[in-house]
Amino acid sequence: MTWTPDRIETLKYLWQKGLSASNIAETLGGVSRNAVLGKIHRLELPKRKQKACMVKKKRAPKVSTYQKPLKPKQRIEEPVIDGTEKTILDIRDGECRCCVSGEGADMLMCAKPVAIGSPWCEYHQDKLTNTKMINERVKKERQAFREYLNKSRLERESHGV
Ligand SMILES: [Zn+2]
């Protein structure tokens, strides 16, 4: 195969268009990829940016995992009372301190793992974003603890401890 002016023009054109050397070789016919590369080198055709390449490798279609954020109420389900709740004395750091049932010393707290930087689980964090509500909850919690202390003191006294 000889590099006729026509073929050289085609080569230049295709190279400029961003076809790969093997694509060009295929298009021209009767010439190897290496021959094309050699000719490109000899013609001192400018190197191309990778981005300009028209013939892209086929990729698996990108499946979007992005989901439109829903409103917290829709997104976070209310934790069910399933017996994992804890009293004020059993509750540990990292467990949601939101009251789910009872009052005072009998109060049970959610005890689900807390959301980052919050004393509450994700659900209660969202629910209690209203400061007033948070204050009420905190008051309730303190009240519960006081009542518990009173109760246990009375019990100790009645047992003569
Ligand atoms: Zn909670």
Per-residue pLDDT of the chain (161 residues; tens, 9 = 90+): 688 998 899 889 989 888 888 998 998 888 899 999 999 899 988 877 655 445 556 666 666 666 665 554 455 666 677 788 998 888 888 999 888 888 877 888 999 999 887 888 888 887 776 666 667 777 888 888 889 889 988 888 887 65
36 lies in some domain: yes
Q: What is the pLDDT of residue 53?
A: 45
Q: What is the pLDDT of residue 45?
A: 85
Distance 2 CA to ligand 1 centre (A): 79
Q: What is the pLDDT of residue 68?
A: 61
127 lies in some domain: yes
At a CB cut-off of 8 Å and minimum separation 6, what does 102 contact? 108
Q: Indicate if 91 and 149 belong to the same structural domain.
A: yes
Q: What is the pLDDT of residue 66?
A: 64
Distance 68 CA to ligand 1 centre (A): 24
133 lies in some domain: yes
Amino acid at 140: K
Q: Indicate if 148 and 90 belong to the same structural domain.
A: yes
Distance 97 CA to ligand 1 centre (A): 7
11 lies in some domain: yes
Amino acid at 156: R
Distance 88 CA to ligand 1 centre (A): 13
Structural domain including 29 reads 5-42
Distance 84 CA to ligand 1 centre (A): 11
Q: Indicate if 36 and 99 belong to the same structural domain.
A: no
Distance 65 CA to ligand 1 centre (A): 28
Distance 95 CA to ligand 1 centre (A): 8
Contact between 18 and 48 (Cβ < 8 Å): yes
Amino acid at 102: G
Contact between 123 and 77 (Cβ < 8 Å): yes
Q: What is the pLDDT of residue 103?
A: 82
At a CB cut-off of 8 Å and minimum separation 6, what does 24 contact? 11, 14, 15, 36
Distance 122 CA to ligand 1 centre (A): 7
67 lies in some domain: no
92 lies in some domain: yes
Contact between 107 and 87 (Cβ < 8 Å): yes
Q: What is the pLDDT of residue 135?
A: 73
Domain total for the chain? 2
Distance 32 CA to ligand 1 centre (A): 69
Q: Indicate if 36 and 96 belong to the same structural domain.
A: no
Q: Give this prediction's pTM.
A: 0.36
Q: What is the pLDDT of residue 130?
A: 62
126 lies in some domain: yes
Distance 151 CA to ligand 1 centre (A): 25
Place of tokens 């209310």: 78
Q: What is the pLDDT of residue 70?
A: 55
116 lies in some domain: yes
